[in-house]
């Protein structure tokens, strides 16, 4: 028999779970499903659609994410992102809001064979680290500094539409919310979502964010705003690279 005055087994875990489950502002970052990078031509295309497997991944993501309240869905302008978010929009009855600045970093790797694409990215990754700030080694590629600034500004803009704003306090980024409890989904890319995580967690950027916060196809990550200090909130990474929905659907 449990002694009087002793807490029940698991009570601390339940209390912490309840705190996390409270209605905090939340951002869910969903990566697109499998794209058909080289359709009939066998050459890489600039804006591929999803493969049948990718569409199944999108359905599995929608089935999982639609269980929770969602106030808005934002999406990159690419076909693979829009097609990934479409089942979620259908399940929730929400319109997709396309945000051009959520697109993936421009690599300049269009029109290549699969072997050429692989070689392009392997060779680009093996350059001296300082050169990675310049982006991928192609005149048409976007620098990482420009990409990071673009995505960070885009995330701030999306949040401002829901009454969220940030300010610097000493060396910290502090957020305040006019509409507490907003639940937002962003469907985008590995690099875009990685920069978003870095920005929201107030982490010093690096040009290999796509490796530092690498997510799988159709996986999602969740950030919640948590009150801290006397005047605001910070973002907390509550879930990263979640793939249970894909496992349950037999897609992984």
**How deeply is 233 buried, as exposed, middle or buried, from its count of CB atoms within 10 A (0-12, 13-18, 19+)?**
buried
Which pLDDT score, from 0 to 100, does residue 14 have?
Answer: 62
Nearest to 242 by CA among 28, 96, 69, 51: 28
**3-state SS record for 72-135:** EEEECCCHHHHHHHHHHHHHHCCCEEECHHHCCCCCCCCCCEHHHHHHHHHHHHCCCHHHHHHC
Which pLDDT score, from 0 to 100, does residue 1 have?
Answer: 42
Which pLDDT score, from 0 to 100, does residue 115 have?
Answer: 87
Rounded CA gap, 144 and 122, in Å?
17
User: What domains can be seen in the chain, in order of their start residue?
Assistant: 29-248 (3.40.50.1240)
Which pLDDT score, from 0 to 100, does residue 6 have?
Answer: 53
- Chunked into runs of 10 residues, the chain (252 residues) has average pLDDT values of 55 61 85 87 84 98 97 98 98 98 93 87 94 92 96 97 92 91 97 98 95 97 93 95 98 93
């Amino acid at each position: 028999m449990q002694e009087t005055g002793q807490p029940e087994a698991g009570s601390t875990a339940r209390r912490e779970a309840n705190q996390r489950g409270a209605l905090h502002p939340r951002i869910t970052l969903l990566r697109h499903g499998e794209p058909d990078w080289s359709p009939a031509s066998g050459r890489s295309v600039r804006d591929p659609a999803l493969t049948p497997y990718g569409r199944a991944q999108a359905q599995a993501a929608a089935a999982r994410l639609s269980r929770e309240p969602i106030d808005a869905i934002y999406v990159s302008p690419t076909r693979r992102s829009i097609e990934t978010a479409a089942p979620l929009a259908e399940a929730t009855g929400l319109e997709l809001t396309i945000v051009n600045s959520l697109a993936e970093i421009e690599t300049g790797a269009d029109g290549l064979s699969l072997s050429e694409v692989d070689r392009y990215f392997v060779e680009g990754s093996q350059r001296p680290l300082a050169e990675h700030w310049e982006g991928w080694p192609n005149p048409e590629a976007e620098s990482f500094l420009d990409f990071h600034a673009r995505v960070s500004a885009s995330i701030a803009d999306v949040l401002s539409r829901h009454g969220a704003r940030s300010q610097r306090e000493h060396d910290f980024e502090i957020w305040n919310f006019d509409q507490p409890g907003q639940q937002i989904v962003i469907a985008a890319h590995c690099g875009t979502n990685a920069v978003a995580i870095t920005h929201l967690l107030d982490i010093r950027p690096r040009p290999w964010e796509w490796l530092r916060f690498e997510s799988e196809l159709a996986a999602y990550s969740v950030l919640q705003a948590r009150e801290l200090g006397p005047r605001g909130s910070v973002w907390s990474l509550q879930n990263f690279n979640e793939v249970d929905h894909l496992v349950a659907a037999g897609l992984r």
